[in-house]
Amino acid sequence: MRTDKTINCPSSRGRRQLAFQSLEDILGEGERLSQSRVQTVGNWSLGQILDHLATWMEFSIDGVPARIAWPLRVVLRPFRKQILRRPVPAGFRWPADADPRLVPQGPVSDSEGLEHLRRAIARLRAEPTRAPSPLLGKLTPEEWEQLHLRHAEHHLSYVLPSEPSPDSH
């Protein structure tokens, strides 16, 4: 079990460029990747990535078990619209005492991660209530969806299919 929350994301070298327009795009890419032979150029397996995305989707409904320092919140909240449109930067580090649910703690099979993602997207579609973001505060369901799209673009960019398909995003 992983005890440190440090995420050493490699540079963008070797990563794919992704642009998702909907939650269905994320699910479609997860399904496509889980049916392919893949290589990851980061720290996590495909199953861990899919599970992580699903967990954060659930956090947007149930509440995120993390707090962000108030000075950072105050500085960044006026830029919410720009943040929701920009790629998520690599190399984020949670503090060592952060909640262990924020990052994968052990192995997750591709099929387990994909099933979790399916359930989380179904919940997002069925439940209109959203919890505040620890960084950006109160977000609409549409703003949370934009955040999920950027988050998925970031993490799934580390997954390289062995044979890229012509319909990749």
What pLDDT, on the 0 to 100 scale, is given for residue 2?
32
Q: Output the pTM of the full model.
A: 0.84
Contact, 155 vs 50, CB < 8 A?
Answer: no
What pLDDT, on the 0 to 100 scale, is given for residue 4?
35
- Output the CA–CA distances (angstroms, integers) from residue 160 to 7, 41, 53, 71, 110, in the order listed: 19, 8, 17, 37, 14
What DSSP string describes 59-81? HHHH--S----HHHHHHHGGGHH
Distance CA 149, CA 21 (A): 7
Instruction: Report residue 67 as tokens.
Output: 């707090």
- Output the CA–CA distances (angstroms, integers) from residue 93 to 19, 58, 73, 153, in the order listed: 24, 21, 16, 18
pLDDT by residue for the chain (169 residues), tens digit each?
Answer: 233 333 445 555 689 999 999 999 999 999 999 999 999 998 899 999 999 999 999 999 999 998 877 887 788 777 778 888 888 877 777 777 777 787 888 999 999 999 999 999 999 999 999 999 998 999 999 999 999 999 999 999 999 998 645 554 4
Query: Residue 39 contacts by C-beta under 8 Å, 6 or more apart in sequence?
Result: 159, 160, 162
